[in-house]
Amino acid sequence: MYSGSEKYYDDIYNAMGKDYAAEAYKVHEFIQRHKQTYGNILLDVACGTGTHAGFLSQYYQVTGTDLNARMLKVARKKHPEIQFLEGDMRQLNLGRQFDAVTCLFSAIGYMKTKADLRKAVKSMSRHLLPGGVLLVEPWFSQEKWNVGRVSINHVDKPELKIVRMALARKRGKVSLLEFQYLIGTSMGIEHLTEYLELGLFAHEEYVDAFTRAGLEVIHDPEGIFGRGLYIGIKSQA
């Protein structure tokens, strides 16, 4: 889990060219194509700093949840009009249901076992109205995870310079990411290290989790930005 870089998260992904507005519009298109309800209430699970939630609020009444309190602090500051709640995707119990539930930018990868994947999908499905739709953007599979890959990203703003280097490893069916940051401001240069662990699930394991949750499952191989998308539709019966 991110544990120190939250306040720089948006700067890093903006510098990488991540187009949240375009992605939110694609999410909206997928929802409209598949949902069978008439409402516009959306739950964004593992919402991070709330950037997708902010753009999705153009189309929906949005609630966001995340396990990381530091991420939520950033999200609330950016979007005070949106309700953000702290919660574990495996154990959500908000006491209400939604027309759409989303789990984007591969946040489902924080589930490191099949059991946790199933719990998370079932928990999210419980928050769907009959006819509602669940969108989950997967993390990499074992076959697509590039062990040993080293990558580097830069932020170059007048008041902020960041170099982030990442090294990819693997332990069993879990991907390991080591991030090393150099962060420069007028106050000095900070060095920060973070480690992320994300589950590497096969297509069949995602389908199984959706099916066990009682959802009709559709897989779009392209998805929002190339990682694919799993779409679950809750029966109206």
Please indicate, yes or no, whether residues 111 and 158 belong to a single structural domain of this protein.
no
Write down the pTM of the prediction: 0.97
Q: Which domain CATH number covers 156? A: 2.20.130.10
Please indicate, yes or no, whether residues 116 and 217 belong to a single structural domain of this protein.
yes
Please indicate, yes or no, whether residues 63 and 98 belong to a single structural domain of this protein.
yes
How many structural domains comprise the chain? Answer: 2
Provide the residue range defining the domain that includes 41: 6-140+202-234
Are the C-beta atoms of 225 and 23 separated by less than 8 Å?
Answer: yes
Q: What is the pLDDT of residues 106-131, one digit of tens each?
A: 999 999 999 999 999 999 999 999 99
> What was the pLDDT predicted at 1?
67
Q: Over 90: is that where the pLDDT of 237 sits?
A: no
> What was the pLDDT predicted at 108?
98
Q: What is the mean pLDDT of residues 84-92?
A: 98
Q: Cα-flanking dihedrals φ and ψ of residue 28, to 5°?
A: -60, -45
